[in-house]
Amino acid sequence: MEDIPEDAPAAPTPEQYAARARRANKATRGALAAVLALEALVILLVPRAIKFTSGLGTTRTVVLFVLAALLVVGAASTRRSWGVGFGSVLQLAFVATGFFLGSLFLVGAIFAAIWLRILMLRHEVVGTAGGLRMLVE
């Protein structure tokens, strides 16, 4: 039998594990909210950047502003039970803005990759569901 030093830390209790999981869940939901807020900012900059080229037109500009508003709502709702699922749907909408401007496909793919990575980290640390259920839980 090995001698355990008296000053060695004790193993965490189940309550401590649960508290760590709650903190990690809050942190990852905050990171997801930050991603959505950054996406809203990027969407709001698109009409200004395109103004000097061909322009977007009224309909496309309104669609981008509505999407930016939905992204802000999504960022505010990440702490709700349905917030992660709503944010995942908004990722698809953001990638779809690439039909307005081709370079937004790349930007949308980068944001979607960041979103998925945070969800995978959340799955590993917090223990949320894996697979496709990770996108809605």
pLDDT at 1 over 80: no
Integer Cα distance of 12 and 114 in angstroms? 31
Rounded distance between C-alpha atoms, residue 126 and residue 129, angstroms: 9
pTM (2 d.p.): 0.83
Average pLDDT, the chain: 86
* Rounded-to-integer distance, Cα 39 and Cα 67, Å: 10
The most confident of 12-21, 58-67, 103-112, by mean pLDDT? 103-112
* pLDDT, tens digit, 9 for 90 and up, residues 94-132: 999 888 788 889 999 999 999 999 999 988 888 777 777
| Percent of the chain clearing pLDDT 70 (strictly above) | 89
The tens digit of pLDDT for each residue in 24-52 reads 889 999 999 999 999 999 999 887 777 66
Res 89: pLDDT: 94
Q: What is the distance between the alpha carbons of residues 6 and 137, in angstroms, rounded to a whole number?
A: 42
The DSSP secondary-structure symbol of 100 reads: T
